[in-house]
């Protein structure tokens, strides 16, 4: 009897109902937010002339020596804030990572969840909000800029570092535990050395972000390029505004290029004769970072004594005493709920605009893997420069510009955040296209497919998942940034916070801040569930 070979059965593609459900929910949320954004009058025709002057000045920036000298000094202040803020964030993040890593807590999930919950408070508030609060305690002290960057970034860094520690092999860690070491010591000596590459790479990425945050802090009076930008903007000196914008772009480009070089070296360490050799670029980067810390401390003339001065203690006691307990009157709570809805609508519309834009530009912005036409290379370079420019300009500046032609509300805030976030997502989506497997596209080209078809069917499906995951991750960041543009009149919880801060109603300020943290946690939870559905 001859055995009959079983016929292979092709796997049946099944529709993932969770993905369809999340997709439908996203469309409903975007439609709901768009209807709220265009409800009533949104255009301010009287501001079109001023907007035209602003746009025209892009081709004629101010280049006089006196103003460039002022910008040079302001750039040094921004760099010093970014360096010291990053160092503080790394110190806090390294200490916090060991305390909140899942590995450290073992099976004690309640303690791990509580530790993670503590981190949600500092990272749930924007750096500018920290700056406004610290100004009321420390005055215009340089520590305001350093702490406003270091505290929230430290909480974010602790979370990321903890995740990196949880992903490395646990063999050395468990061996140290078996020899009687404590969990903290075992984590320091058994986990940290293995994760050192990823930790160093993220540290330089955080420095890039700190440069942009230092600019934002300048908008609220902390000094630096942001402060000079706000002064020129307030006096309607558009050529000076564009000079400051281009200076910001160059500074962000320098941080971006340096960070990218370091991360590339960490990802692919040098070898000599099959043995890991010292990388001079990484050694120089670490040495430059240490020298930068010393110089920044000297340049800003920081004094630890100012943190514990009698005035600081008195102001801190007054603010804390006035801020607790939070205000709970009915009118305020109803307003908090209403403005929370506005904040969600603004963030949803902003991330939708940024995601749609990133999908459109990712293919052209990505660097070609092989040889390509000169026109394609030029178009890609110009588009990458444009993305750098829109993410170098802080979202509040985009909001102020849009408020020339749009009335205050959801729409200007959403568009401002959407444009800024497009600069970030466009870059990330382009990198996802660059990292996609080239074989499907090559196979389609061999079968006679056009380049557009090869990209659409061979590259886009691979890049779609990472791009959507990046967008969902950025949604939490956009919620925090919504508070910032709201401070400038774009609506939402930021506008409510600004009015309460102006009235020194600290109990109401606490209520608004708690609502902001709760909203950020809720968005983080929804975003995490949606990312799981995409895997």
Provide the H-helix boundaries in 393-459: 395-402, 410-434, 439-446, 451-454
For the segment 227-245, what is each residue's pLDDT rounded down to a tens digit? 888 888 888 888 998 898 8
Q: What is the pLDDT of residue 11?
A: 45
Q: What is the pLDDT of residue 297?
A: 92
Task: Give the class (CATH, top level) of 19-48+326-534.
Answer: mainly alpha
For the segment 348-390, what is each residue's pLDDT rounded down to a tens digit? 999 999 988 888 888 777 777 666 777 778 888 888 888 888 8
Cα dihedral 457, 460, 461, 467, rounded to 10, equals -170
Sign of CA dihedral 418, 421, 427, 430: negative
Domain ranges across the chain: 19-48+326-534, 60-322
Q: Which CATH superfamily is domain 60-322 in?
A: MetI-like (1.10.3720.10)
For the cut 50, the answer to whether the pLDDT of residue 10 exceeds it is: no
Beta bridge partners of 406: 43
- Fold matches, 19-48+326-534 and 60-322: yes
Beta bridge partners of 43: 406
Give CA–CA dist 350/416, Å, rounded. Answer: 8
Q: What is the pLDDT of residue 2?
A: 47
Across the chain, what does the average pLDDT equal?
Answer: 79
Q: What is the pLDDT of residue 489?
A: 63
Cα dihedral 153, 158, 163, 166, rounded to 10, equals 170
> Which has more confidence, 436 or 378?
378
Mean pLDDT along residues 308-336: 87
97-111, 388-402, 477-491: segment of lowest average pLDDT: 97-111
For the cut 70, the answer to whether the pLDDT of residue 197 exceeds it is: no
Decide if 347 contacts 475 (C-beta within 8 A): yes
| Cα–Cα separations (whole angstroms), residue 240 to 78, 343, 387 | 18, 32, 21
For the cut 70, the answer to whether the pLDDT of residue 14 exceeds it is: no
Phi and psi based region of residue 491 (left: phi greater than 0; alpha: psi -120 to 50; beta: remaining) = left
Query: Band of the pLDDT at 425, cuts 50, 70, 90?
Result: confident
33: its two tokens: 């937010």
Query: Band of the pLDDT at 299, cuts 50, 70, 90?
Result: very high
For the cut 90, the answer to whether the pLDDT of residue 185 exceeds it is: no
Q: What is the pLDDT of residue 228?
A: 87
Q: How many residues does the chain have?
A: 535
For the cut 90, the answer to whether the pLDDT of residue 480 exceeds it is: no
193-197, 301-305, 355-359: segment of lowest average pLDDT: 193-197
Q: What is the pLDDT of residue 8?
A: 47
Mean pLDDT along residues 322-345: 88
For the cut 90, the answer to whether the pLDDT of residue 295 exceeds it is: yes
For the cut 80, the answer to whether the pLDDT of residue 194 exceeds it is: no
For the segment 506-515, what is each residue's pLDDT rounded down to a tens digit? 898 899 888 8
Give CA–CA dist 98/112, Å, rounded. Answer: 11
Mean pLDDT along residues 422-428: 84
Q: What is the pLDDT of residue 370?
A: 65
17-21, 68-72, 480-484: segment of lowest average pLDDT: 17-21
Nearest to 164 by CA among 187, 193, 120, 198: 198
For the segment 146-168, what is each residue's pLDDT rounded down to a tens digit? 999 998 888 888 887 777 777 77
Query: Band of the pLDDT at 273, cuts 50, 70, 90?
Result: very low
What phi, psi does 172 have (nearest 5°)?
A: -60, -35
38-47, 105-114, 318-327, 346-355: segment of lowest average pLDDT: 105-114
Q: What is the pLDDT of residue 498?
A: 83
For the cut 80, the answer to whether the pLDDT of residue 461 exceeds it is: no
Provide the H-helix boundaries in 218-237: 225-234
């Amino acid at each position: 009897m001859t055995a009959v070979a079983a016929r292979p059965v092709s796997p049946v593609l099944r529709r993932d109902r969770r993905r369809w459900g999340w997709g439908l929910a996203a469309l409903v949320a975007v439609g709901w937010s768009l209807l709220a954004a265009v409800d009533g009058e949104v255009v301010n025709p009287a501001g079109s002339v001023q907007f035209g002057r602003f746009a025209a000045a892009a081709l004629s920036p101010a280049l006089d020596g006196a103003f460039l000298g002022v910008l040079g000094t302001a750039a040094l202040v921004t760099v010093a804030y970014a360096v010291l803020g990053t160092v503080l964030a790394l110190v806090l993040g390294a200490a916090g990572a060991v305390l909140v890593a899942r590995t450290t807590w073992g099976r004690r999930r309640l303690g791990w969840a509580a530790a993670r919950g503590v981190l949600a408070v500092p990272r749930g508030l924007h750096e500018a909000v920290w700056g406004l609060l610290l100004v009321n305690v420390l005055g215009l002290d340089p520590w305001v800029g350093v702490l406003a960057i270091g505290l929230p970034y430290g909480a974010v860094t602790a979370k990321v570092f903890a995740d990196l520690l949880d992903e490395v092999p646990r063999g050395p860690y468990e061996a140290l535990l078996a020899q009687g070491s404590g969990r903290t010591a075992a984590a320091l000596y058994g986990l940290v050395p293995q994760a050192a590459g990823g930790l160093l790479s993220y540290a330089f990425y955080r420095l890039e972000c700190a440069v942009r945050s230092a600019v934002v802090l300048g908008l609220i009076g902390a000094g630096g390029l942001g402060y000079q930008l706000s002064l020129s903007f307030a006096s309607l000196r558009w050529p000076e505004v564009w000079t400051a914008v281009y200076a910001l772009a160059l500074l962000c480009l320098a941080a971006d290029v340096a960070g990218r070089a370091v991360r590339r070296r960490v990802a692919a360490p040098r070898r000599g004769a099959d043995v890991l050799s010292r990388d001079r670029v990484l050694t120089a980067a670490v040495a430059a970072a240490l020298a930068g810390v010393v110089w920044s401390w000297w340049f800003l003339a920081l004094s630890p004594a100012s943190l514990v001065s009698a005035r600081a203690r008195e102001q801190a006691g007054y603010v804390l005493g006035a801020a607790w307990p939070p205000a709970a009157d009915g009118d305020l709570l109803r307003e908090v709920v209403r403005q929370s809805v506005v904040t969600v609508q603004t963030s949803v519309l902003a991330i939708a605009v940024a995601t749609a834009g990133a999908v459109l530009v990712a293919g052209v912005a990505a660097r070609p893997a092989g040889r390509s036409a000169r026109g394609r290379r030029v178009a890609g370079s110009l588009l990458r420069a444009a993305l750098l420019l829109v993410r170098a300009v802080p979202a509040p500046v985009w909001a102020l510009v849009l408020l020339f032609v749009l009335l205050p509300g959801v729409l200007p805030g959403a568009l401002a955040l959407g444009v800024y976030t497009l600069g970030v997502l466009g870059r990330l989506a382009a990198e996802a296209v660059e990292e996609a497997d080239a074989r499907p596209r090559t196979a389609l080209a061999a079968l006679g497919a056009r380049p557009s078809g090869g990209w659409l069917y061979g590259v886009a499906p691979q890049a779609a998942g990472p791009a959507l995951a990046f967008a969902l991750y950025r949604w939490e960041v956009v919620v925090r940034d919504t508070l910032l543009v709201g401070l400038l009149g774009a609506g939402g919880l930021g506008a409510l916070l600004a009015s309460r801060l102006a009235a020194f109603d600290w109990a109401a300020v606490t209520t608004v801040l708690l609502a902001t943290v709760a909203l950020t946690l809720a968005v983080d939870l929804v975003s995490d569930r949606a990312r799981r559905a995409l895997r």
